[in-house]
Amino acid sequence: MQFTRINDITIHYHVIGAVADKPVLVFINSLGTDFRIWRDVVVRLADDFAIVLYDKRGHGLSDIGQVPYSIEDHATDLAGLLDRLAVKRTFVCGLSVGGLIAQSLYQRRPDLVRALVLSDTAHKIGTAEMWDARIAAIEAGGIEAVADGVLERWFTPAFRRPENLAFAGYRNMLVRQPTPGYVGTCAAIRDADYTEAARKIAVPVLCVVGDQDGSTPPDLVRSTARLIPGARLEVIRDAGHIPCVEQPEAMTRALRSFFDYVMQGDPPNE
Ligand SMILES: O=C(O)CC1=CCC(=O)O1
């Protein structure tokens, strides 16, 4: 297990492979999850990429710190982690709020970003009213109070079968996140709008979305892809909001084909 101190926060992270020897790929997880969600994709890519995983502040084994947060707080943590690891220019794959963090990282530190994968995310997610209602519900009843609704948007009915142990496990992951970290990140999402920033992205971008994503539905992700010059869009079949969990094979295929396309037109990482 690896821990480091960034911006007065202890960050839990994991590096697979040598960042000096292979193209580097960093994954940023979504609201209410930790970096274990990437496992089934990571095992498929680990021969070809050095992979950086981490728990954003307020999630997993990382510290909570001061709440509420901004997306920029999360992006500054990630920039600090990449600097600490001497990663210069990386493929960045962010899921949901992780995609907002990826967009913020690009805005603040474009030198760190070789290409972006924006999975089940948007230039803006939800409305202030929606996030304030979720925060109020959690303050009254904990994450448990919103968990069933969240899980319906995360996963397809096929995955939500009661006998599916993975479904039970991911429910545990959601309800066991620290409440202040979860609520603090809801506030960060509420306050984030990358509409103008999206129009200025000048690195290759792949937008990915599950065809049954109930949180950032395909039409929203499609409209984000249209804002970003040259962005590609890939719809993953039979997946909800977290295709890396529900359809890791298809997600890996989408990532590989995009990375191959980027690397063909791009000199190797220094
Ligand atoms: O929790 C949800 O509804 C889905 C989600 C929105 C932002 C994020 O990271 O997850």
30, 100, 189, 191, best to mutate for ligand 1 pocket (most atoms within 8 Å of CB): 30
The answer to whether residue 138 scores a pLDDT higher than 70 is yes
Residue 190 has phi, psi (to 5 degrees) of -55, -40
Distance 151 CA to ligand 1 centre (A): 10
For strands 113-119 and 205-210, give the pairing: parallel
3-state helix, strand and coil shares in percent for the chain, rounded to the nearest 5 = 45, 15, 35
Cα angle 106, 248, 44 (rounded to 5 degrees) comes to 85
- Please give the Cα distance from 19 to 126 (Å, whole number): 36
Measured from the CB, is residue 97 less than 6 Å from ligand 1?
Answer: yes
pLDDT band at 266 (very low <50, low <70, confident <90, very high): confident
The answer to whether residue 268 scores a pLDDT higher than 80 is no
Q: Is 61 exposed, middle or buried (0-12, 13-18, 19+ CB in 10 A)?
A: middle
Distance 228 CA to ligand 1 centre (A): 21
Q: Mean pLDDT across the stretch 99-116? A: 98
Look at residue 226 and tell me if it is in a domain: yes
Question: Quick one: how far is CA 70 from the chain centroid?
Answer: 15
What ipTM describes this predicted complex? 0.96
In this prediction, what percent of the chain has a pLDDT beyond 90? 97
Q: Mean pLDDT across the stretch 88-99? A: 98
Look at residue 164 and tell me if it is in a domain: yes
Mean predicted lDDT score pLDDT of the chain: 97
Q: Which atom of ligand 1 is nearest to the CA of 185?
A: 9
Q: Which atom of ligand 1 is nearest to the CA of 149?
A: 3
Return the pLDDT at 18.
97
Measured from the CB, is residue 189 less than 6 Å from ligand 1?
Answer: yes
Look at residue 248 and tell me if it is in a domain: yes
| Residues contacting residue 95 through CB under 8 Å, at least 6 positions apart | 27, 28, 29, 30, 33, 37, 119, 120, 121, 242, 244
Domain count, the chain: 1
Distance 98 CA to ligand 1 centre (A): 10
Distance 99 CA to ligand 1 centre (A): 11
Look at residue 270 and tell me if it is in a domain: no
The answer to whether residue 58 scores a pLDDT higher than 60 is yes
Q: Compute how many other C-beta atoms are within 10 angstroms of the C-beta atom of residue 2.
A: 11
Return the pLDDT at 195.
98
Q: Which atom of ligand 1 is nearest to the CA of 126?
A: 6
Smallest CA-to-CA distance from 198 within 116, 119, 92 is with 116
Measured from the CB, is residue 124 less than 6 Å from ligand 1?
Answer: no
Measured from the CB, is residue 153 less than 6 Å from ligand 1?
Answer: yes
Domain holding 178: CATH number?
A: 3.40.50.1820
Q: Is 15 exposed, middle or buried (0-12, 13-18, 19+ CB in 10 A)?
A: middle
| Residues contacting residue 89 through CB under 8 Å, at least 6 positions apart | 24, 111, 112, 113, 114, 269, 270
Query: Tens digit of pLDDT for each residue in 185-241?
Result: 999 999 999 999 999 999 999 999 999 999 999 999 999 999 999 999 999 999 999
Domain, as residue range, for 203:
2-265
Look at residue 13 and tell me if it is in a domain: yes
**Residue identifier of the C-alpha nearest atom 4 of ligand 1:** 215
- pTM for the complete prediction? 0.98
pLDDT band at 269 (very low <50, low <70, confident <90, very high): low
The answer to whether residue 270 scores a pLDDT higher than 50 is no
